[in-house]
Amino acid sequence: MNDYHNKLKQLMDEYAHYIYKITKKFPKEEIYGITSQLRRSSLSIILNYIEGFARKRSAVKKNFWETSYGSLQESKYLVHFSLIENLITKKEYQKASKLSKEIGAMLWKAIEAIKIK
């Protein structure tokens, strides 16, 4: 299972770095708006996952991982919003969507595997 979690963390890390890369070209007037929100939500995915992974109690771990999943959904919407507002290209949108879909499937599987005692 460690390989699974390492792969998931690697994908989350790649996603966060990719979001930072594509948001560098966002307009300066968006620095406190969508740029900041998208960056925070993308980092929240991996940060909550890592914090949950470090927790001993299953219920606490599940709570952090569900927060991570919620942040993923938030960032997915913001990426879509960025496409509609012409802040990113279709190609950038497709890459971010592919990564987020893979992360979402793996994270949901990990959440569902947690057994609460």
| CA triple 7-13-19, angle to 5 deg | 135
Mean pLDDT of the residues in the chain: 96
- Residue 89 has what pLDDT? 98
Q: What does the pLDDT average to over 28-45?
A: 97
- Please give the pLDDT value at position 117: 65
Choose among 107, 114, 102: nearest CA to 44.
107
Tally: H helices and E strands in the chain:
4, 0
pLDDT at 1 over 80: no
**Torsion sign, CA atoms 37, 38, 39, 40:** positive
Q: Kindly report, residue by residue over 13-22, the tens digit of the pLDDT.
A: 999 999 999 9
Q: What is the mean pLDDT of residues 30-50?
A: 97
Average pLDDT over residues 96-111: 98
pTM above 0.85, yes or no: yes
Q: What is the C-alpha separation between 4 and 27, in angstroms, rounded?
A: 37
- Give all domains of the chain, ordered by start, each with its CATH number: 2-113 (1.20.1440.60)
Residue 116 CA to residue 10 CA, distance in Å, equals 26
